[in-house]
Structure 1
Amino acid sequence: MKEQIQAELRQLEEKTQKRVLKDISFFDDPWIVMNGRKLLNLASNNYLGLASDERLIEAGCKAMRTYGASATASRLIVGNYEQYARTERALIKWKQAEAALIINSGYTANIGIITALIGQDDIVFSDWLNHASIIDGIMLSRAERHRYYHNDLNHLESLLKKAPSHKRKLIVTDTIFSMDGDIAPLEGLVTLKKRYNAILMVDEAHSSGIYGEQGEGLAHYFRLQNEIDIQMGTFSKALGCFGAYVTGEQWLIDYLMNKMRSFIFTTALPPAVLGSIEKAIEIVQTEQERRETLQTHSHYFRHELKKLGFHIGESTTHIVPIIIGPNDLTVRFSERLQEHGIAAVVIRPPTVPEGTSRIRFSLTSSFSKAELDWALEQIACVGKEMGIIP
């Protein structure tokens, strides 16, 4: 076995697909020190700059001093300390939901929700570019699987038409696609789920905190929150914390609490995390200027990259890829950007389709205009040097 695995690793290295960890030794948003080099951080999901906010840090410390460093058990045993109830009440109020459940991570949330709701006698319809956690949940569910072309409602409807009417049907999609930065057609998905008596689940991981009047997400932004059956999202991106949530009607939350294995069989989140989440939910509702700054930065950055001649796909959000294509060229581009002071990580297959390797830039509200302009200068310099742009 050892020799076979080592051979696989060599193959990954030859294809420039082998991954290695990078040491982060200093964080001063939006700057980091990575592998000993100070870099402007364009690779983080800290979209609203809350990860280093002193109010979140103090709230986490207060919760730890009150309840300890660990939950010590799963929530269904003795891990459901009082901080959970307070944080879930804040979540329900923020999302204007009937009920909510906090889960340990976005990955375990998606795996758990999907496998709890559907099985081998059911059918699931998934966008072609959905996150790996959704794909893995579908595979583990053993349901009949259909992937519809990315954001293609006509293709989805053609698949739904063929599905037996008596079978349980789940449609699942990201709201913002994490490697492309484009948005799902939620209004059309709601129409189709009603037409074909399906359940609709959305993953708001990259839109929670950013869209909607109080950052509730894209479901609220499009005023579809009451039409979407399951809203899942994370606290680990715009809210600057860790963990995930699911909101919906009470029957759904009661069912998941009893059937979701990734919830039942894991130790609850540490008290410090819950304290920080509660504070982040409070902040994100009131500090609209963070969202406005992020939107301004995102529009400017996309516009300038396109003007320079870079291929950024269909991005309309704060996630902005530069699609290069070949793995080796993209890796060299990433390395040269880091030499120029930009933290920009290469995204390769299998995370994205073959031939579409890219640099994924993630913007945050922490950037100044001067920092964005400096980053664009460096990106343009390396792009011209490598022949990626004229």
Structure 2
Amino acid sequence: MDSQKGTDSVSQRIQAMTDRAADLKARGAYFYNMAVTEILDDARVIVNGRNMGMYASYGYAGLLGHPRIAAAAKAAVDKYGTGTNGVRSLAGTLDLHVELEETIADFKHAEAAITYTSGYATNLSVISTLMGRGDWILSDKLNHASIVDGCMMSGALFRRFKHNDMADLEKRLQQAPSDVAKLVIADAVFSMDGDIIDLPKVVKLCEKYDAWLMMDEAHSIGVLGKTGRGIEEHFGLGDVVDIKMGTLSKTIPSVGGYVAGKRDMIEYLRHASRAYIFSAALPPAQAAAAMESFKVILDEPWRLEKLQANTEQFIGGLKSAGFDTMLTETAIVPVLCGDDERAYELTGAAQAKDLFVLPVVSPAVPNGLARLRATVTAAHATKDIAYALDVLAEAGKEIGII
């Protein structure tokens, strides 16, 4: 039988992407997968021998390299070694994992918590375990890809509502039969736009239509709320979210994900979610680092204050220069460029002056909404942010963005 490899749809998709990457590399406009040779802190890195200001990090609280966190990780390696050689349900659970989950539950004011080895896998597994055929899932249009994939994997009826549009969410809820399980899910802080979900209104709608509520707090833990506990604290609402999901790889400088909530739900996930049952446990060093990070956030509230001040300086400076930062109100700051080529040009100009920023282009964002997805952290100095603003403003004018 003749082989179709090279002409079938799989080969065509592979060829299209490799051609696109090759073209960008040939033009010096490919900025992805750049090897960082040294991480100095959450504000500076060494790339290709150059000391660059880091404006693409998710380490919002500036905890990377914190001595307490590093010491906890090293002590865990000395005590337990580098891995567990097992899944959590069998031989993989350490007392360290139990302590981490208790720490997360306390931090989130929840009865219990469960951890996973990947934030992506957390959403994929939790959504598809809790929801199934015949159920309804209503998801914000700008939710993270891991949420979308979890919704599709669940087999539930999957409907999107317009971004942060409560009237559209209510319309979707009204369409759902009253006798089916319903889940409303949204990012707390949206990963490409930096704006915040209208949680008070979402909560009211979930109560009105008897729907479960899940919040993905990947970008809100250590960022929102007086003590960094996240979106519920930010709005002063108490314990109103049924499924409190978060990651351990952004503000928390480790790896993995978690869900906190009612004890019976967590027990169900522990015995039914495939990413927990069939994945090896978090390595000891990563579990210890994550646990200590939650404690540092509470012990060093100045980090939240510094992050807020840096965020206001960065957003305010970009707006004053004439940039469109969309609706952001957090440390995730989109610098709107328009078409993909202008995003590449602005990135190149910024990197030439030692600003590590990265472009986000189609299909990750809609055509015409290409941007730099810039971030600031508590580790940035005021003078460094001022320098970054000057570089971006000068380049933006030369390119014609502002």
**TM-score, normalised via structure 1 length:** 0.96
**Residue 166 (structure 1) aligned to one of 179, 186, 189:** 179
One-letter code aligned to 1:128:
K
DSSP-derived class of the 2:194 partner: coil
Cα deviations by residue, 1:56-100 (Å, 9 ceiling, x for unpaired): 111001011111100111100111011111112222222221111
**Residue 74 (structure 2) aligned to one of 61, 68, 90:** 61
Q: How does 1:1-390 map to 2 (within 5 A)?
A: 1-2=5-6, 4-13=12-21, 20-29=32-41, 30-389=43-402
Find the aligned partners of 1:270 and 1:104 in 2 and give their Cα distance: 9
Tell me, yes or no, if the aligned pair for 1:15 and 1:327 is still in contact at 8 Å: no
Q: CA deviation at 1:5?
A: 4.9
Please list every run of 5 or more consecutive structure 2 residues that lacks an aligned counterpart in the other structure.
none
Find the aligned partners of 1:111 and 1:224 in 2 and give their Cα distance: 27
Number of aligned residues: 389
Indicate the RMSD between aligned Cα atoms, in angstroms: 1.6
Q: CA deviation at 1:366?
A: 0.5
One-letter code aligned to 2:343:
T
Tell me, yes or no, if the aligned pair for 2:32 and 2:358 is still in contact at 8 Å: no
Identify if the C-alpha distance between structure 1 residues 4 and 200 changes in structure 2 by more than 3 Å, giving closer, same or farther: same
Q: CA deviation at 1:214?
A: 2.3
Find the aligned partners of 2:81 and 2:338 in 1 and give their Cα distance: 48
Q: CA deviation at 1:213?
A: 3.1
Find the aligned partners of 1:302 and 1:310 in 2 and give their Cα distance: 9
DSSP-derived class of the 1:179 partner: coil
Tell me, yes or no, if the aligned pair for 2:54 and 2:356 is still in contact at 8 Å: yes
Q: CA deviation at 1:358?
A: 0.5
One-letter code aligned to 1:233:
G
DSSP-derived class of the 2:289 partner: helix
One-letter code aligned to 1:8:
A
One-letter code aligned to 2:38:
F
Identify if the C-alpha distance between structure 1 residues 289 and 260 changes in structure 2 by more than 3 Å, giving closer, same or farther: same
Identity of aligned residues (%): 35
Please list every run of 5 or more consecutive structure 1 residues that lacks an aligned counterpart in the other structure.
none
One-letter code aligned to 2:181:
R
Q: CA deviation at 1:4?
A: 3.1
Q: CA deviation at 1:15?
A: 8.4
DSSP-derived class of the 1:170 partner: strand
Q: CA deviation at 1:219?
A: 1.4
Find the aligned partners of 2:199 and 2:362 in 1 and give their Cα distance: 27
DSSP-derived class of the 2:120 partner: helix
Identify if the C-alpha distance between structure 1 residues 5 and 175 changes in structure 2 by more than 3 Å, giving closer, same or farther: closer
Cα deviations by residue, 1:351-380 (Å, 9 ceiling, x for unpaired): 212221110111101111111111111111
Q: CA deviation at 1:224?
A: 2.7
Find the aligned partners of 2:268 and 2:351 in 1 and give their Cα distance: 47
Please identify runs of 4+ aligned residues in structure 1 that moved more than 6 A. Answer: none
Tell me, yes or no, if the aligned pair for 1:12 and 1:18 is still in contact at 8 Å: no
Tell me, yes or no, if the aligned pair for 1:128 and 1:147 is still in contact at 8 Å: yes
Find the aligned partners of 1:300 and 1:9 in 2 and give their Cα distance: 38
DSSP-derived class of the 1:145 partner: strand
Tell me, yes or no, if the aligned pair for 1:214 and 1:286 is still in contact at 8 Å: no
Q: CA deviation at 1:19?
A: 7.5
DSSP-derived class of the 2:292 partner: helix
DSSP-derived class of the 2:395 partner: helix
Find the aligned partners of 1:207 and 1:83 in 2 and give their Cα distance: 25
Find the aligned partners of 1:353 and 1:314 in 2 and give their Cα distance: 16
Find the aligned partners of 2:187 and 2:63 in 1 and give their Cα distance: 23
One-letter code aligned to 2:212:
I
Tell me, yes or no, if the aligned pair for 1:95 and 1:216 is still in contact at 8 Å: yes
One-letter code aligned to 1:218:
I
Cα deviations by residue, 1:235-293 (Å, 9 ceiling, x for unpaired): 21112222211110011101111111111110001000111111111111111100000
Find the aligned partners of 1:189 and 1:170 in 2 and give their Cα distance: 11
Find the aligned partners of 2:14 and 2:332 in 1 and give their Cα distance: 35
One-letter code aligned to 2:107:
W
Find the aligned partners of 1:191 and 1:138 in 2 and give their Cα distance: 22
Cα deviations by residue, 1:287-325 (Å, 9 ceiling, x for unpaired): 110000000010111111101000100001111111112
Find the aligned partners of 1:338 and 1:20 in 2 and give their Cα distance: 12
Tell me, yes or no, if the aligned pair for 1:239 and 1:284 is still in contact at 8 Å: no
